[in-house]
Amino acid sequence: MNGIHDMGGTDGFGKVEPEANEPTFHGAGCGWGRVGGGQGLAPGRGAESR
Amino acid sequence: LTEKGYVDPAALDRIVEAYETRIGPHIGARVVAKAWTDLAFKRALLEDANKAVAVLGMPNRIGDHLVAIENTRATHNMVVCTLCSCYPWDVLGLLPIWYKSAPYRSRTVKDPRSVLADFGMTLPASTNIRVWDSTAETRFMVLPMRPEGTDGWDDEKLAALVTRDSMIGTGFPKRPGELNQ
């Protein structure tokens, strides 16, 4: 059952690491988080851009 | 993509700005607070979350089916997306990095109690944990239990207690004494 996408129940990935005070987008220095995040968000969200 | 004219950077900026400034877990917190104070709304929310949330004036942008699930002393609910990162964006905003991480996605369905321990959260052994695996079509938000000591509080004050993680099932709402933390 182990597969690259279907991760449910797969062993060996370790602990979850919650992040205190996480930023809205990571990569503040070069802005990759905003750019990549924006492109990922874009499909179906035209209403936000109007 | 910009050079080929597929993407308008100004439009992307406005989408990003919306998620930085307007769309976030404060929306879900309003929904939870109303469900805590208005029994008819709570029933409507648990029956058809899309419809109930729309009544509060919150649009469904993605067109997905939103399901609200209620925590009780007997059952605690947790939300995951084992396949990728499906998440109720309209009510919770941008998702945390850990939600799409391999450890969270892999272990939540197999050993949820140990995942909650990673968040510093312990539930009584008598509380069942139910895990909800999201898809692109169906997304879940948890309706956490109302904290004790909040009798008579209005929606706005209650909403300040509702954390993002409490609506994913990886945290509790704040207690009244934690309000300014």
Tell which wins on pLDDT, A11 or B144. B144
Tell which wins on pLDDT, B64 or B162. B162
pLDDT for B23 equals 87
Q: Which of B84, B101, B106, B114 is catalytic?
A: B84
- pLDDT surpasses 80 at B122: yes
- Mean residue pLDDT of chain A comes to 74
Q: Is B101 a catalytic residue?
A: no
- pLDDT surpasses 50 at A50: no
Q: For residue B111, report the phi and psi dihedrals to the nearest 5 degrees.
A: -145, 70
Rounded to a whole number of angstroms, the distance from the CA of A19 to the nearest CA of chain B is 8
pLDDT for A49 equals 47
Cα four-point dihedral sign B15, B16, B21, B22 = positive
pLDDT for B14 equals 87
Contact (CB, 8 A) for B141 and B28 = yes
Q: Is B56 on the interface with A (CB under 8 A)?
A: no
- pLDDT surpasses 80 at B42: yes
Q: For residue B130, report the phi and psi dihedrals to the nearest 5 degrees.
A: -115, 125
CA distance A33 to B94: 12
- In terms of average pLDDT, the best of A2-16, B34-48, B84-98 is B34-48
CA distance B5 to A38: 16
In this prediction, does ipTM exceed 0.90? Answer: no
pLDDT for A46 equals 54
- Mean residue pLDDT of chain B comes to 93
Rounded to a whole number of angstroms, the distance from the CA of B58 to the nearest CA of chain A is 13
Task: Quote the pTM value.
Answer: 0.89
pLDDT for A47 equals 52
Average of per-residue pLDDT across B22-48: 96
CA distance B129 to B122: 11
Helical spans, DSSP H, in B22-134: 25-37, 39-47, 49-55, 89-92, 102-107, 112-118
Average of per-residue pLDDT across B132-160: 95
Contact (CB, 8 A) for B15 and A38 = yes
Task: Pull the structure tokens for residue B125.
Answer: 């052994």
Contact (CB, 8 A) for A13 and B106 = yes
- At A22, the pLDDT band (50, 70, 90 cuts) reads confident
- pLDDT surpasses 80 at A30: no
- pLDDT surpasses 70 at A44: no
Average of per-residue pLDDT across B129-151: 95
Q: Is B166 a catalytic residue?
A: no
Tell which wins on pLDDT, A44 or A42. A42
Task: Return the SS3 of B18.
Answer: helix
The verdict on a CB contact (< 8 Å) between B107 and A17 is no
- Closest to B88 in 3D by CA, of B32, B30, B24, B33: B24
Name residues whose C-beta falls within 8 Å of residue B135's C-beta, 6 or more positions apart in sequence: B81, B83, B86
Task: Return the SS3 of B135.
Answer: coil
Owner of token pair 């510093």: B120
Average of per-residue pLDDT across B79-102: 91
Tell which wins on pLDDT, B127 or B86. B127
Find the range with the poorest average confidence among B41-50, B90-99, B115-124, B142-151. Answer: B90-99
CA distance B124 to B84: 30
Question: Which chain A residues touch B20 with a CB distance below 8 Å?
Answer: 24-25
